[in-house]
Amino acid sequence: MPFRIHRFLDNLTNQAGSSMREQLFLNREPFESLTTSTQTAKWIKRLMDDLSKEIGVENAKAVMEVCGQQCIGTSVTEKARMIRESSNDFDDLLDKLNQAHIGGGKLRRVGDVIYASYERCYCGSVSKTRLPISPIYCQCSCGWYKKLFETVFKKPVRVELIDSIIHGADTCQFRIYI
């Protein structure tokens, strides 16, 4: 899934206000003018760095997490919910989600914690380059997992980024606290 600039801008405005949005994008090349994956990755890298400096790391994470919650499709959450209803227990649920390749296909449980990983970056805007980008960007994936498992379990969950490919790791890894 590529970076959705309009979704990002709306979430930034909601989190930090329109003046911060204007300040952050002042003298920045328009996203729509970028033509190569390298240009896009560099642009996103600079945006994430500037975002963290301007609104703080926790607020920047919140902006990206909401982007991820909006990124997951209803068809995915509905399918996951149906899988939950047909599962015998927690482990059966994870097996079925893995078989359906929902959540990367490598979900595993240790106690009440789900570990998720995948071996490629699913973000089309940064995955074609090996340019290291702030892990703030991957909070989008945290939001995606949060929405998935809050839908499945019908209760709040917390998702933590362990490591990511665009930050130099071999895999993207997450902890989901149920």
Angstrom CA distances, 5 to 30, 75, 97, stand at: 10, 22, 30
> How many CB atoms are closer than 10 A to CB 73?
12
Selecting from 3.30.70, 3.40.50, 3.30.40, 3.90.1520, what CATH number does the domain 5-177 have? 3.90.1520
Block residue for tokens 């997951």: 72
pLDDT tens, residue by residue, 94-115: 999 999 999 999 999 999 999 9
pLDDT at 165 over 90: no
d(CA 42, CA 113): 34
Enumerate the β-bridge partners of residue 113: 110, 177
Measured in degrees and rounded to the nearest 5, phi and psi for residue 109 equal -115, 140
Give the integer Cα–Cα distance in Å for 136 and 134.
5
- Residue 121: its pLDDT value, please? 82
What is the reported pLDDT for 173?
96
Q: What is the mean pLDDT of residues 62-68?
A: 95
**pLDDT exceeds 80 at position 143:** yes
Domain coordinates in residue numbering, the chain: 5-177
Q: Over 70: is that where the pLDDT of 155 sits?
A: yes
Q: Distance between CA 146 and CA 141 in Å, rounded?
A: 8
| Cβ–Cβ < 8 Å for 6, 21 | no
Report pLDDT for 37: 82
Distance of CA 9 to the CA centre of its chain: 16
Per DSSP, the residues of 54-93 read HH-HHHHHHHHHHHHHHHS-HHHHHHHHHHHHT-SSHHHH
